[in-house]
Amino acid sequence: MDLDLARLQFAFTSVNHFFFVPITMGLAFLTALLQTAWHRSGREEYLRLTRFFGTLLLINVAIGVVTGIVQEFEFGMNWGAYSRLVGNVFGAPLAMEGLAAFFLESTFLGLWIFGWDKLPRRVHLTAIWLVALGSALSAAFIMAANSWMQHPVGYAMVGGKPQLDNLWAVFTNPVFIWGYSKVLFVALVTGSMVMLAVSAWQLRHGGDRALFGRSATMALVVLLPSILFTMLVGDELGVVEGRYQPMKIAAAEAQWTTCQPCSFSLFQIGGGNADHTPTKIIAIPHLLSLLATNHWNGKVVGLSPLQAQYSQQFGPGNYVPNVFIQYWGMRAMAYLGVVVLLIALWGLWAVWRRTLATSRLFLWVATWAVVLPFAMNTAGWFLTESGRQPWIVQGIMLTRNGISPTVGTTWLWISLLGFVALYGTLGTVDLVLMLRYARQKPPVPRPESEVSAPVPAMQY
Protein backbone atom coordinates (compact mmCIF):
# COMPACT_ATOMS: atom_id res chain seq x y z
CA MET A 1 0.00 0.00 0.00
CA ASP A 2 1.19 3.46 -0.86
CA LEU A 3 1.75 5.57 2.26
CA ASP A 4 1.54 8.95 0.55
CA LEU A 5 -1.66 8.01 -1.22
CA ALA A 6 -3.27 6.83 2.02
CA ARG A 7 -2.24 10.07 3.73
CA LEU A 8 -3.51 12.10 0.80
CA GLN A 9 -6.87 10.34 1.00
CA PHE A 10 -7.17 10.92 4.72
CA ALA A 11 -6.16 14.56 4.37
CA PHE A 12 -8.63 15.05 1.55
CA THR A 13 -11.60 13.43 3.27
CA SER A 14 -10.94 14.95 6.68
CA VAL A 15 -10.31 18.49 5.41
CA ASN A 16 -13.55 18.24 3.45
CA HIS A 17 -15.38 16.82 6.46
CA PHE A 18 -14.15 19.73 8.54
CA PHE A 19 -15.62 22.26 6.12
CA PHE A 20 -19.07 21.10 7.18
CA VAL A 21 -18.52 20.25 10.84
CA PRO A 22 -17.86 23.78 12.15
CA ILE A 23 -20.75 25.19 10.09
CA THR A 24 -23.03 22.60 11.67
CA MET A 25 -21.77 23.21 15.21
CA GLY A 26 -21.74 26.97 14.86
CA LEU A 27 -25.03 27.39 13.00
CA ALA A 28 -26.82 24.92 15.28
CA PHE A 29 -25.84 27.06 18.25
CA LEU A 30 -26.79 30.32 16.49
CA THR A 31 -30.10 28.92 15.24
CA ALA A 32 -30.85 27.79 18.78
CA LEU A 33 -30.06 31.32 19.98
CA LEU A 34 -32.41 32.81 17.37
CA GLN A 35 -35.20 30.45 18.30
CA THR A 36 -34.67 31.22 21.98
CA ALA A 37 -34.91 34.92 21.15
CA TRP A 38 -38.20 34.23 19.36
CA HIS A 39 -39.44 32.09 22.22
CA ARG A 40 -38.73 34.76 24.80
CA SER A 41 -39.64 37.92 22.88
CA GLY A 42 -42.34 36.51 20.62
CA ARG A 43 -41.07 38.78 17.83
CA GLU A 44 -41.78 37.53 14.37
CA GLU A 45 -38.37 38.56 12.95
CA TYR A 46 -36.64 35.98 15.12
CA LEU A 47 -38.93 33.23 13.90
CA ARG A 48 -38.23 34.17 10.30
CA LEU A 49 -34.49 34.21 10.98
CA THR A 50 -34.68 30.86 12.76
CA ARG A 51 -36.35 29.30 9.74
CA PHE A 52 -33.99 30.99 7.31
CA PHE A 53 -30.74 30.00 9.00
CA GLY A 54 -32.20 26.64 10.00
CA THR A 55 -32.53 25.78 6.32
CA LEU A 56 -28.88 26.70 5.71
CA LEU A 57 -27.94 24.52 8.67
CA LEU A 58 -29.80 21.53 7.23
CA ILE A 59 -28.09 21.79 3.85
CA ASN A 60 -24.75 21.34 5.62
CA VAL A 61 -25.70 18.78 8.24
CA ALA A 62 -26.45 16.19 5.57
CA ILE A 63 -22.96 16.37 4.09
CA GLY A 64 -21.33 16.58 7.51
CA VAL A 65 -23.04 13.33 8.53
CA VAL A 66 -22.23 11.28 5.45
CA THR A 67 -18.62 12.48 5.20
CA GLY A 68 -18.27 11.54 8.87
CA ILE A 69 -19.14 7.90 8.11
CA VAL A 70 -16.28 7.88 5.59
CA GLN A 71 -13.88 8.98 8.34
CA GLU A 72 -14.93 6.15 10.62
CA PHE A 73 -14.57 3.52 7.89
CA GLU A 74 -11.25 4.88 6.70
CA PHE A 75 -9.42 3.91 9.92
CA GLY A 76 -10.15 0.27 9.23
CA MET A 77 -9.85 0.39 5.46
CA ASN A 78 -6.59 2.30 5.01
CA TRP A 79 -5.07 2.22 8.47
CA GLY A 80 -5.65 -1.41 9.42
CA ALA A 81 -2.38 -1.92 11.31
CA TYR A 82 -3.00 1.28 13.24
CA SER A 83 -6.55 0.21 14.14
CA ARG A 84 -5.35 -3.20 15.25
CA LEU A 85 -2.66 -1.72 17.48
CA VAL A 86 -4.50 1.16 19.12
CA GLY A 87 -8.21 0.32 18.70
CA ASN A 88 -8.19 -0.66 22.34
CA VAL A 89 -7.67 2.97 23.34
CA PHE A 90 -8.66 4.94 20.26
CA GLY A 91 -11.87 3.02 19.55
CA ALA A 92 -13.47 3.74 22.92
CA PRO A 93 -14.05 7.48 22.38
CA LEU A 94 -15.38 6.74 18.88
CA ALA A 95 -17.94 4.29 20.23
CA MET A 96 -18.89 6.75 22.97
CA GLU A 97 -19.25 9.46 20.34
CA GLY A 98 -21.85 7.41 18.53
CA LEU A 99 -23.76 6.47 21.66
CA ALA A 100 -23.71 9.78 23.45
CA ALA A 101 -23.57 12.34 20.64
CA PHE A 102 -24.60 11.10 17.18
CA PHE A 103 -27.85 9.55 18.35
CA LEU A 104 -28.73 12.74 20.21
CA GLU A 105 -27.90 15.03 17.32
CA SER A 106 -29.64 13.02 14.59
CA THR A 107 -32.77 12.11 16.55
CA PHE A 108 -33.45 15.63 17.75
CA LEU A 109 -32.59 17.12 14.39
CA GLY A 110 -35.39 14.99 12.92
CA LEU A 111 -37.69 16.12 15.71
CA TRP A 112 -36.76 19.74 15.12
CA ILE A 113 -37.18 19.72 11.33
CA PHE A 114 -40.47 17.87 11.32
CA GLY A 115 -41.75 18.86 14.72
CA TRP A 116 -42.68 22.50 14.12
CA ASP A 117 -46.40 21.77 14.26
CA LYS A 118 -46.25 18.58 16.30
CA LEU A 119 -44.32 19.53 19.41
CA PRO A 120 -45.11 22.08 22.11
CA ARG A 121 -43.00 25.20 21.57
CA ARG A 122 -40.81 24.65 24.59
CA VAL A 123 -40.06 21.05 23.62
CA HIS A 124 -39.34 22.12 20.07
CA LEU A 125 -36.89 24.73 21.36
CA THR A 126 -35.23 22.08 23.52
CA ALA A 127 -34.81 19.93 20.40
CA ILE A 128 -32.60 22.49 18.62
CA TRP A 129 -30.53 22.98 21.77
CA LEU A 130 -30.03 19.22 21.98
CA VAL A 131 -28.90 19.23 18.34
CA ALA A 132 -26.34 21.90 19.23
CA LEU A 133 -25.30 19.93 22.30
CA GLY A 134 -25.02 16.70 20.32
CA SER A 135 -22.78 18.27 17.69
CA ALA A 136 -20.58 19.88 20.36
CA LEU A 137 -20.34 16.54 22.22
CA SER A 138 -19.40 14.61 19.11
CA ALA A 139 -16.50 17.00 18.59
CA ALA A 140 -15.42 16.37 22.18
CA PHE A 141 -15.11 12.61 21.68
CA ILE A 142 -13.29 12.80 18.37
CA MET A 143 -10.96 15.44 19.76
CA ALA A 144 -10.22 13.19 22.74
CA ALA A 145 -9.26 10.46 20.28
CA ASN A 146 -7.16 12.83 18.19
CA SER A 147 -5.46 14.31 21.26
CA TRP A 148 -4.48 10.83 22.33
CA MET A 149 -2.59 10.51 19.02
CA GLN A 150 -0.80 13.80 19.74
CA HIS A 151 -0.03 13.00 23.36
CA PRO A 152 -0.88 9.43 24.43
CA VAL A 153 -2.00 9.15 28.06
CA GLY A 154 -3.97 6.73 30.25
CA TYR A 155 -2.54 3.51 28.85
CA ALA A 156 -0.03 0.80 29.63
CA MET A 157 1.93 -1.23 27.09
CA VAL A 158 0.84 -4.88 27.30
CA GLY A 159 2.57 -7.27 24.91
CA GLY A 160 3.67 -4.37 22.69
CA LYS A 161 0.17 -2.92 22.47
CA PRO A 162 -1.16 0.12 24.28
CA GLN A 163 -4.03 -0.89 26.55
CA LEU A 164 -6.38 1.67 28.02
CA ASP A 165 -6.08 1.78 31.81
CA ASN A 166 -7.38 5.23 32.68
CA LEU A 167 -10.26 6.75 30.73
CA TRP A 168 -10.28 9.82 32.95
CA ALA A 169 -6.73 10.61 31.84
CA VAL A 170 -7.83 10.50 28.19
CA PHE A 171 -10.51 13.12 28.88
CA THR A 172 -8.26 15.32 31.01
CA ASN A 173 -5.38 15.21 28.56
CA PRO A 174 -4.19 18.84 28.38
CA VAL A 175 -3.92 18.59 24.59
CA PHE A 176 -7.58 17.56 24.57
CA ILE A 177 -8.77 20.28 26.92
CA TRP A 178 -7.11 23.05 24.94
CA GLY A 179 -7.62 21.48 21.53
CA TYR A 180 -11.31 20.88 22.13
CA SER A 181 -11.86 24.38 23.49
CA LYS A 182 -10.25 25.70 20.38
CA VAL A 183 -12.54 23.62 18.14
CA LEU A 184 -15.59 24.96 19.97
CA PHE A 185 -14.54 28.58 19.48
CA VAL A 186 -13.50 27.93 15.89
CA ALA A 187 -16.97 26.49 15.23
CA LEU A 188 -18.54 29.65 16.61
CA VAL A 189 -16.23 31.77 14.49
CA THR A 190 -17.14 29.77 11.38
CA GLY A 191 -20.88 29.76 12.09
CA SER A 192 -21.01 33.45 12.87
CA MET A 193 -18.89 34.35 9.83
CA VAL A 194 -21.34 32.42 7.64
CA MET A 195 -24.28 34.16 9.29
CA LEU A 196 -22.56 37.53 8.95
CA ALA A 197 -21.75 36.95 5.28
CA VAL A 198 -25.30 35.90 4.42
CA SER A 199 -26.76 38.85 6.32
CA ALA A 200 -24.32 41.23 4.67
CA TRP A 201 -25.22 39.94 1.22
CA GLN A 202 -28.90 40.37 1.99
CA LEU A 203 -28.35 43.92 3.24
CA ARG A 204 -26.40 44.78 0.10
CA HIS A 205 -29.20 43.43 -2.07
CA GLY A 206 -32.17 45.12 -0.52
CA GLY A 207 -32.96 42.48 2.08
CA ASP A 208 -35.09 43.40 5.06
CA ARG A 209 -32.98 45.67 7.28
CA ALA A 210 -34.90 44.99 10.45
CA LEU A 211 -34.27 41.31 9.88
CA PHE A 212 -30.74 41.06 8.59
CA GLY A 213 -29.42 44.01 10.56
CA ARG A 214 -30.42 42.01 13.59
CA SER A 215 -28.77 38.76 12.47
CA ALA A 216 -25.61 40.59 11.38
CA THR A 217 -25.38 42.23 14.79
CA MET A 218 -25.92 38.94 16.55
CA ALA A 219 -23.26 37.27 14.40
CA LEU A 220 -20.78 40.04 15.24
CA VAL A 221 -21.54 39.87 18.95
CA VAL A 222 -20.78 36.14 18.90
CA LEU A 223 -17.83 36.53 16.53
CA LEU A 224 -15.69 38.96 18.55
CA PRO A 225 -15.35 36.93 21.76
CA SER A 226 -15.10 33.70 19.74
CA ILE A 227 -12.14 34.87 17.67
CA LEU A 228 -10.46 36.36 20.73
CA PHE A 229 -10.83 33.12 22.65
CA THR A 230 -9.73 31.12 19.59
CA MET A 231 -6.48 33.08 19.65
CA LEU A 232 -5.95 32.88 23.41
CA VAL A 233 -6.77 29.18 23.55
CA GLY A 234 -4.68 28.58 20.43
CA ASP A 235 -1.74 30.25 22.12
CA GLU A 236 -2.08 28.02 25.18
CA LEU A 237 -2.49 24.98 22.93
CA GLY A 238 0.81 25.94 21.32
CA VAL A 239 2.50 25.93 24.72
CA VAL A 240 0.99 22.54 25.60
CA GLU A 241 2.01 21.06 22.26
CA GLY A 242 5.46 22.60 22.61
CA ARG A 243 5.83 20.60 25.81
CA TYR A 244 4.71 17.24 24.35
CA GLN A 245 5.53 17.67 20.67
CA PRO A 246 8.52 20.04 20.57
CA MET A 247 9.18 19.15 16.93
CA LYS A 248 5.81 20.59 15.93
CA ILE A 249 6.52 23.99 17.46
CA ALA A 250 10.18 24.19 16.41
CA ALA A 251 9.15 23.36 12.85
CA ALA A 252 6.44 26.04 12.93
CA GLU A 253 9.21 28.62 13.32
CA ALA A 254 11.72 26.72 11.13
CA GLN A 255 13.97 26.89 14.19
CA TRP A 256 16.83 24.47 13.51
CA THR A 257 19.06 25.54 16.38
CA THR A 258 18.11 25.99 20.01
CA CYS A 259 17.37 29.58 20.97
CA GLN A 260 16.74 31.55 24.16
CA PRO A 261 15.07 34.01 23.95
CA CYS A 262 13.52 33.29 20.56
CA SER A 263 12.16 35.73 18.01
CA PHE A 264 9.22 35.20 15.70
CA SER A 265 9.64 35.98 12.01
CA LEU A 266 6.72 37.45 10.11
CA PHE A 267 7.90 35.97 6.80
CA GLN A 268 10.80 34.04 5.45
CA ILE A 269 12.39 33.43 2.11
CA GLY A 270 13.55 29.92 1.39
CA GLY A 271 13.17 27.39 4.17
CA GLY A 272 11.82 23.85 4.09
CA ASN A 273 13.52 20.68 5.28
CA ALA A 274 16.61 21.15 3.08
CA ASP A 275 17.31 24.81 3.85
CA HIS A 276 18.29 25.24 7.49
CA THR A 277 19.12 28.95 7.19
CA PRO A 278 16.14 30.67 5.55
CA THR A 279 16.19 34.48 5.34
CA LYS A 280 13.81 35.65 8.03
CA ILE A 281 12.06 38.94 7.37
CA ILE A 282 11.05 41.19 10.28
CA ALA A 283 11.90 39.19 13.38
CA ILE A 284 9.92 40.19 16.47
CA PRO A 285 12.15 39.55 19.50
CA HIS A 286 10.85 37.37 22.34
CA LEU A 287 7.56 36.60 20.56
CA LEU A 288 8.30 32.94 19.84
CA SER A 289 9.45 32.46 23.45
CA LEU A 290 6.13 33.89 24.58
CA LEU A 291 4.05 31.84 22.15
CA ALA A 292 5.82 28.56 22.76
CA THR A 293 6.51 28.75 26.49
CA ASN A 294 4.51 31.66 27.93
CA HIS A 295 7.81 33.10 29.20
CA TRP A 296 9.56 36.24 27.99
CA ASN A 297 12.89 34.43 27.83
CA GLY A 298 11.64 30.89 27.20
CA LYS A 299 13.86 28.35 25.50
CA VAL A 300 12.84 26.59 22.28
CA VAL A 301 14.89 23.53 21.39
CA GLY A 302 15.83 23.48 17.73
CA LEU A 303 14.99 20.82 15.15
CA SER A 304 18.56 19.55 14.80
CA PRO A 305 19.10 18.78 18.52
CA LEU A 306 15.60 17.27 18.67
CA GLN A 307 16.40 15.07 15.68
CA ALA A 308 19.57 13.88 17.43
CA GLN A 309 17.65 13.20 20.64
CA TYR A 310 14.85 11.25 18.86
CA SER A 311 17.33 9.19 16.84
CA GLN A 312 18.96 8.14 20.08
CA GLN A 313 15.64 7.41 21.76
CA PHE A 314 13.72 5.68 18.93
CA GLY A 315 16.49 4.49 16.61
CA PRO A 316 17.78 5.98 13.39
CA GLY A 317 15.27 7.77 11.19
CA ASN A 318 14.02 11.17 10.18
CA TYR A 319 11.81 12.67 12.86
CA VAL A 320 11.46 16.17 11.44
CA PRO A 321 7.99 17.01 10.08
CA ASN A 322 7.52 18.99 6.88
CA VAL A 323 8.96 22.34 7.94
CA PHE A 324 7.50 24.26 5.02
CA ILE A 325 3.93 23.17 5.90
CA GLN A 326 4.52 23.91 9.58
CA TYR A 327 5.97 27.36 9.05
CA TRP A 328 3.35 28.56 6.60
CA GLY A 329 0.44 26.64 8.11
CA MET A 330 1.05 28.40 11.41
CA ARG A 331 1.28 31.79 9.74
CA ALA A 332 -1.74 31.33 7.46
CA MET A 333 -3.83 30.34 10.49
CA ALA A 334 -2.60 33.18 12.71
CA TYR A 335 -2.70 35.94 10.08
CA LEU A 336 -6.17 34.98 8.89
CA GLY A 337 -7.27 34.99 12.52
CA VAL A 338 -6.04 38.56 12.86
CA VAL A 339 -7.99 39.56 9.73
CA VAL A 340 -11.14 37.99 11.20
CA LEU A 341 -10.55 39.87 14.45
CA LEU A 342 -10.22 43.16 12.56
CA ILE A 343 -13.43 42.47 10.63
CA ALA A 344 -15.25 41.75 13.89
CA LEU A 345 -14.02 45.01 15.42
CA TRP A 346 -14.87 46.98 12.29
CA GLY A 347 -18.36 45.49 12.23
CA LEU A 348 -19.06 46.19 15.88
CA TRP A 349 -17.80 49.72 15.43
CA ALA A 350 -20.33 50.10 12.58
CA VAL A 351 -23.03 48.69 14.84
CA TRP A 352 -22.05 51.22 17.49
CA ARG A 353 -22.20 54.03 14.93
CA ARG A 354 -25.49 52.63 13.56
CA THR A 355 -24.07 52.47 10.06
CA LEU A 356 -23.88 48.69 9.70
CA ALA A 357 -26.77 48.34 7.25
CA THR A 358 -25.50 51.16 5.03
CA SER A 359 -21.74 50.67 5.06
CA ARG A 360 -21.35 49.22 1.57
CA LEU A 361 -17.63 48.60 1.95
CA PHE A 362 -17.99 46.69 5.19
CA LEU A 363 -20.86 44.63 3.83
CA TRP A 364 -18.85 43.74 0.75
CA VAL A 365 -15.83 42.72 2.83
CA ALA A 366 -18.01 40.78 5.27
CA THR A 367 -19.60 38.81 2.42
CA TRP A 368 -16.32 37.71 0.91
CA ALA A 369 -14.72 37.15 4.31
CA VAL A 370 -16.76 33.93 4.52
CA VAL A 371 -13.84 32.06 2.95
CA LEU A 372 -11.47 33.10 5.77
CA PRO A 373 -12.58 30.71 8.53
CA PHE A 374 -12.40 27.73 6.18
CA ALA A 375 -8.89 28.63 5.06
CA MET A 376 -7.94 29.27 8.68
CA ASN A 377 -9.33 25.94 9.89
CA THR A 378 -7.62 24.00 7.12
CA ALA A 379 -4.28 25.67 7.82
CA GLY A 380 -4.71 24.85 11.52
CA TRP A 381 -5.36 21.19 10.83
CA PHE A 382 -2.32 20.99 8.54
CA LEU A 383 -0.25 22.48 11.36
CA THR A 384 -1.59 19.98 13.90
CA GLU A 385 -1.60 16.82 11.82
CA SER A 386 1.44 17.34 9.64
CA GLY A 387 3.32 18.49 12.73
CA ARG A 388 2.81 15.07 14.34
CA GLN A 389 4.60 13.32 11.49
CA PRO A 390 6.38 10.96 11.13
CA TRP A 391 4.30 9.61 14.00
CA ILE A 392 0.72 8.40 13.67
CA VAL A 393 0.67 8.13 17.48
CA GLN A 394 3.39 10.25 19.01
CA GLY A 395 6.18 8.01 20.31
CA ILE A 396 4.20 4.77 19.84
CA MET A 397 3.72 4.12 16.14
CA LEU A 398 5.12 5.59 12.95
CA THR A 399 2.64 6.57 10.28
CA ARG A 400 4.29 4.30 7.72
CA ASN A 401 3.68 1.30 10.01
CA GLY A 402 0.00 2.11 10.43
CA ILE A 403 -1.28 1.39 6.94
CA SER A 404 -3.23 -1.72 5.98
CA PRO A 405 -0.55 -4.21 4.95
CA THR A 406 -2.52 -6.06 2.30
CA VAL A 407 -4.56 -3.34 0.67
CA GLY A 408 -3.28 -2.81 -2.86
CA THR A 409 -2.41 0.54 -4.39
CA THR A 410 -5.03 -0.01 -7.11
CA TRP A 411 -7.80 -0.23 -4.52
CA LEU A 412 -6.53 2.91 -2.91
CA TRP A 413 -6.52 4.75 -6.24
CA ILE A 414 -10.07 3.59 -7.00
CA SER A 415 -11.42 4.76 -3.66
CA LEU A 416 -9.42 8.00 -3.74
CA LEU A 417 -10.64 8.96 -7.21
CA GLY A 418 -14.16 7.91 -6.27
CA PHE A 419 -14.13 10.08 -3.17
CA VAL A 420 -12.63 13.04 -5.03
CA ALA A 421 -15.34 12.81 -7.70
CA LEU A 422 -18.10 12.35 -5.13
CA TYR A 423 -16.93 15.07 -2.75
CA GLY A 424 -16.31 17.42 -5.65
CA THR A 425 -19.86 16.95 -6.88
CA LEU A 426 -21.39 17.18 -3.42
CA GLY A 427 -19.33 20.23 -2.50
CA THR A 428 -20.51 21.97 -5.67
CA VAL A 429 -24.13 21.04 -5.06
CA ASP A 430 -23.86 22.20 -1.45
CA LEU A 431 -22.37 25.51 -2.52
CA VAL A 432 -25.03 26.05 -5.20
CA LEU A 433 -27.80 25.29 -2.71
CA MET A 434 -26.25 27.46 0.00
CA LEU A 435 -25.98 30.36 -2.42
CA ARG A 436 -29.51 29.86 -3.67
CA TYR A 437 -31.10 29.63 -0.22
CA ALA A 438 -28.92 32.35 1.25
CA ARG A 439 -30.16 34.71 -1.45
CA GLN A 440 -33.82 33.90 -1.02
CA LYS A 441 -36.21 36.08 0.84
CA PRO A 442 -36.75 34.59 4.29
CA PRO A 443 -40.08 32.80 4.64
CA VAL A 444 -43.02 34.70 6.02
CA PRO A 445 -44.54 32.77 8.91
CA ARG A 446 -47.89 31.24 8.15
CA PRO A 447 -50.86 32.92 9.76
CA GLU A 448 -52.48 31.10 12.65
CA SER A 449 -55.38 29.89 10.48
CA GLU A 450 -52.91 27.96 8.36
CA VAL A 451 -51.00 26.24 11.12
CA SER A 452 -52.07 22.79 10.00
CA ALA A 453 -51.76 23.70 6.34
CA PRO A 454 -49.82 21.59 3.86
CA VAL A 455 -46.12 21.55 3.01
CA PRO A 456 -44.28 22.82 6.04
CA ALA A 457 -41.24 24.70 4.79
CA MET A 458 -38.66 22.26 6.04
CA GLN A 459 -40.02 18.93 4.93
CA TYR A 460 -38.29 16.98 2.19
- Region 107-136 residues binding another protein, contact defined as CB under 8 A: 107-111, 113-115, 118-119
Measured distance CA(447)–CA(420) in Å, rounded: 46
Contact 322, 273 (CB under 8 A): yes
Measured distance CA(181)–CA(162) in Å, rounded: 27
Of 193-201, 218-226, 358-366, 421-429, the segment contacting another protein by CB under 8 A is 421-429
Of 88-96, 298-306, 377-385, 392-400, the segment contacting another protein by CB under 8 A is 88-96
Q: Is 387 left (phi over 0), alpha (psi -120 to 50) or beta?
A: alpha
Q: In the complex, what is the shortest distance from the CB of residue 42 to another protein, in angstroms, rounded to a whole number?
A: 22
Say how many residues touch another protein, by CB under 8 A. Answer: 79
Measured distance CA(188)–CA(179) in Å, rounded: 14
401 touches another protein by CB under 8 A: no
Of 44-52, 71-79, 229-237, 319-327, the segment contacting another protein by CB under 8 A is 71-79
Measured distance CA(292)–CA(394) in Å, rounded: 19
Alpha carbon dihedral 40, 228, 328, 266, in 10-degree steps, equals: 150
Residues paired with residue 268 on neighbouring β-strands, in sequence order: 280
Contact 17, 68 (CB under 8 A): yes
* Three-class secondary structure of residue 398 per DSSP: strand
Task: List the interface residues with another protein, window 436-455 (CB under 8 A).
Answer: 436-437, 447, 449-450, 452-455
Which of 39, 84, 299, 400 binds another protein (CB under 8 A)? It is 84
Cβ contacts of 241 within 8 Å, gap of 6 or more: 150, 151, 175, 248, 249, 384, 387
459 touches another protein by CB under 8 A: yes
Measured distance CA(317)–CA(111) in Å, rounded: 54
DSSP letter for 396, please. Answer: T
Which of 41, 43, 44, 69 binds another protein (CB under 8 A)? It is 69
418 touches another protein by CB under 8 A: yes
Which of 232, 342, 429, 431 binds another protein (CB under 8 A)? It is 429
313 or 459: whose CB is closer to another protein?
Answer: 459
Q: In the complex, what is the shortest distance from the CB of residue 245 to another protein, in angstroms, rounded to a whole number?
A: 25
426 touches another protein by CB under 8 A: yes
Which of 94, 259, 341, 348 binds another protein (CB under 8 A)? It is 94
Which of 56, 96, 200, 227 binds another protein (CB under 8 A)? It is 96
Task: List the interface residues with another protein, window 238-267 (CB under 8 A).
Answer: none
Task: List the interface residues with another protein, window 47-66 (CB under 8 A).
Answer: 58-59, 61-63, 65-66
Contact 54, 31 (CB under 8 A): yes
395 or 418: whose CB is closer to another protein?
Answer: 418
100 touches another protein by CB under 8 A: yes
Task: List the interface residues with another protein, window 134-163 (CB under 8 A).
Answer: 158, 163
Measured distance CA(187)–CA(166) in Å, rounded: 29
Residues paired with residue 280 on neighbouring β-strands, in sequence order: 268
